[in-house]
Amino acid sequence: MPGESAVNFSLLHRTCKLVVLLCFLHISVTVVFYVRSLDLRFAFVQNQQSHNRSAAGPPSTAAVRGDAKPAEGSPELGAPEVKAAPDLQPCLETSPLLVGPLRVEFNMPVSLEKVKKDNPLVEAGGRFRPSDCVALQKVAIIIPFRKREEHLKYWLYYLHPILQRQQLDYGVYVINQDGDVIFNRAKLLNVGYAEAMKDYDYGCFVFSDVDLIPMDDRNTYRCFSQPRHLSVSMDKFGFRLPYNQYFGGVSSMSREQFLKINGFPNNYWGWGGEDDDIYNRLSSKGMSISRATGEVGKCRMIRHNRDKQNEPNPQRFDRIAHTRQTMMKDGINSLTYKVIRKEKLDLYTMITVDVGKP
Ligand code: UDH
Ligand code: NGS
């Protein structure tokens, strides 16, 4: 019927109009979202370029011009690297990113992939420097190492975020003793110093056992006007110093302080005494030990059994009795070793080294 077909046609016409309108709406919305996403991507790229070396934190943590105090210690330690970033101000003496006491435990599994994902601003070889201010010190962190992969994962997991919050220009060096001959902690530390100096103009050296984690980020891993003992109150000693001259675990020294004592002894094979020898060296050169308070200096040790080929050194008592006579002959000036491999890994530089045998 003609009337019925007219009604059908008008219904069809209206439906078509609605479909066209909906299509138009859909295309418009798609275009708007596309343009906005382009904007965002552009902004993100810009952000990456200006912050590609930044730690997460407030927008500006630099000192207000003229307010920044030089770092405690020699001018060389505090000298910011003006050449690298001429428009940046020195970082503040106390980083505003610090959070204080930290929960440290070792009962969860940790993977290097996760640590890498959690620390996107750490660069190859375990290098970092803040992007919004010039770090007050360039710090090489040296870890003596052999067959402690599990401990190293925890160390990297806890320390990278802490060191970034401390606004240090730092690099992590794991000095891996090759082979199975008896372990030599102090010689590995000397190797770490020598190898790190080939990489960058470090002015400060932190020497850390792989199994020690600070429990407070105010315990800054930097150098001071006197050599610093950083593992002040360890859980295994009931959060107290075992003895006043104790200088084991984690310590820091500026390049000048290290060179003044001719570095560390090379002839302590096996466990014990090398840290006491280092203490003797410092004290014989008129230096004293600086420490954070017991509260700020708290740290946890990852429990472990004695390693193979690191038995107590029977010669250690005799050696520490003669530090003053031997120290200027045995040290960084008499160091010999052979680098087997140097690998710039995502979270640290691993240097595998043949340190010889007794
Ligand atoms: N280290 C290694 N591999 C070794 C030996 C030592 O990586 O085979 C490194 C590591 O960084 C370690 C540091 O050297 O943290 C000091 O060695 P250590 O941990 O053996 O010294 P510590 O005084 O322990 O911590 C001594 C043995 C404790 C036995 C406890 C038994 N319950
Ligand atoms: C001393 C050792 C140090 C050692 C310290 C703590 O007796 O090397 O104990 O050891 N000195 C000598 O043996 C001469 S610890 O309890 O951490 O194993 O660092």
For the chain, what is the mean pLDDT? 85
Give dist(CA 126, CA 225) in Å, integer: 26
Mutate to test the pocket of ligand 2, among 207, 236, 276 (most ligand atoms within 8 A of CB): 276
Structure letter (DSSP) for residue 155: H
Q: Mind telling me the catalytic residues?
A: 209, 211, 271, 274-275, 301, 304, 306
- With a cut of 70, say whether residue 4 has pLDDT above it: no
In the CATH hierarchy, which fold is given to the domain comprising 59-354? Spore Coat Polysaccharide Biosynthesis Protein SpsA; Chain A (3.90.550)
> Beta strand pairing status for 298-301 and 338-344?
unpaired
- With a cut of 50, say whether residue 238 has pLDDT above it: yes
Q: How confident is the model over 245-254, as a mean pLDDT?
A: 98
Q: Residue 19 has what pLDDT?
A: 67
Residue 271 beta carbon below 6 angstroms from any ligand 1 atom: yes
What is the value of pTM for the model shown?
Answer: 0.81
Mutate to test the pocket of ligand 2, among 231, 275, 303 (most ligand atoms within 8 A of CB): 275
Give dist(CA 171, CA 142) in Å, integer: 9
Instruction: Label residue 67 by pLDDT band (50, 70, 90).
Output: very low
Q: Residue 7 has what pLDDT?
A: 52
Give dist(CA 322, CA 328) in Å, integer: 11
Residue 291 beta carbon below 6 angstroms from any ligand 1 atom: no
Q: Residue 26 has what pLDDT?
A: 62
Three-state DSSP at 102 gives coil
- With a cut of 50, say whether residue 92 has pLDDT above it: yes
Tell me which long-range contacts 82-89 makes (C-beta under 8 A, separation of at least 24): 82/134, 84/134, 85/134, 88/62, 88/132, 88/133, 88/134, 89/62, 89/63, 89/64, 89/65, 89/133, 89/134
How big is the chain, counted in residues? 358
Q: Residue 14 has what pLDDT?
A: 75
Distance of CA 40 to the CA centre of its chain: 32
- With a cut of 70, say whether residue 194 has pLDDT above it: yes
